[in-house]
Amino acid sequence: LVVLGIETSCDDTAAAVVRGNGEILSQVVSSQADLLAKYGGVAPKMAEEAHSQVIDQVVQEALDKANLTARNLSAVAVTIGPGLSLCLRVGVRKARKLAGSFNLPIIGIHHMEAHCLVARLIERELEFPFMALLISGGHNLLILAHDLGHYIQLGTTIDDAIGEAYDKTAKWLGLDMSRSGGPALEELAQEGDAESIKFSTPMKQHRDCNFSYAGLKTQVRLAIGSHNINPEIPISSASSQDRRSRADIAASFQRVAVLHLEERCDRAIEWARKIEPSIKHLVVSGGVASNQYVRARLDHVVKKNNLQLVCPPPKLCTDNGVMVAWTGIEHFCMGRFDPPPPADEHEDYVYDLRPRWPLGEEYAEGRSEAR
């Protein structure tokens, strides 16, 4: 069994080839970070164009590196949501073209399920049921994974995701955004004093497992104003005093942003154990899970609760094709896939895209638990 995975839901164009036994034969990611830095965010039309420009090349490179041709594949897996439809369409069109030409089954993948299940590729002992904290640019989810395709949502964000808060804070601190903001902020935070600014932890009074990062963003903005930091001046040109203030804000922000995760995870573990007393693992995945401070703090929470942390290596935490291919393999093995599309499918065919697609059902008892 050999599956090609294609991912274009946001700003990375990625493809990978993975074997049924979990062996990664190739992985290729083409990032639009440069474009994003230049124009200050994702413009769907521009992102679509960027995907279209590189998709053929990225897929070809993934096949070449795996020493395979499309003929050797068992199936093609592709992200169909959630994400920007214009972007999703580029990956889906490519996947269907390839699948149509080579008579391959096709597997539509949920991007967040892929972030979650890639943990089962790297940790073979990870069996259902388990818990997952999925933290990325657009999502902040606490999940109880009962079984493949069967998830309960214990918590989600009521406004922004933590990755968005990292990105905005990085931008306001004048960091180099030619990568995404998260890694740059993590680096700067190491120079700062995390106790210097007392940001308040979000949602202290809410006894549920939801998240909020909009208020913390506002607190950061105010701190930037009161420390006379000019975001237009890049950190590389800042005076040492100015740099020091920026590092203090970065460290203080990071401490509270992650403390919020810690508190919610603590409670979610309690909830999850009432539903599934046998859980042994907490998976932490999504772009923000590549952060070392995040990993260390959550490891502490997990140990305190007698669980084991499963955190994929950084390259598999941020968007990648491996997670899509692997999730495809999991579904394929359960007989969940679509038949090959017709080889002459028209360009105007209306694809099954799911730009808004919740992962699993909300935990109905959550409200009474929170009382």
81 binds ligand ATP (CB under 6 A): no
How far apart CA 235 and CA 247 sit, in angstroms, is 10
Residue 264 binding: pick among ligand ATP, Fe ion, none (C-beta 5-8 Å cut-off by kind): none
Burial of 304: CB neighbours in 10 Å, binned 0-12, 13-18, 19+: exposed
Compose the 94-113 pattern: x for residues touching ligand ATP by CB under 6 A, - for all others. -----------------x--
Only one of the segments 132-140, 235-243, 324-332, 354-362 lies at the binding site for ligand ATP (rule: CB under 6 A); that segment is: 132-140
The Cα 342–Cα 338 span in angstroms is 12
Q: What is the largest CA-CA distance in the chain?
A: 64
Q: How far is the CB of 68 from ligand ATP (least distance, A)?
A: 26
The CA distances from residue 19 to 65, 118, 318, 326, in Å, are 14, 13, 21, 8
Residues 6+ apart with CB under 8 A from 346: none
What backbone phi and psi angles, to 5 degrees, belong to 343?
Answer: -65, -25
Closest to ligand ATP by CB, 27 or 136:
136
| Site mask for ligand ATP (CB under 6 A), range 15-54, x = bound | ----------------------------------------
Kindly indicate which of the ranges 210-218, 262-270, 282-290, 352-360 contains the residues binding ligand ATP, using the contact rule CB under 6 A.
282-290
d(CA 67, CA 296): 38
Residue 24 CB, nearest approach to Fe ion (Å): 18
- From the list 161-169, 201-209, 214-222, 339-347, the region that binds ligand ATP by CB under 6 A is 161-169
Going from the C-alpha of 142 to that of each of 7, 26, 69, 293, 333, the distances in angstroms are: 23, 30, 39, 19, 26
186 binds, among Fe ion, ligand ATP, none (CB under 5 to 8 A by kind): ligand ATP
Give me the residues that bind ligand ATP (CB under 6 A), please. 9-10, 83, 111, 136-139, 163, 166-167, 180-183, 186, 286-288, 290-291, 318-319
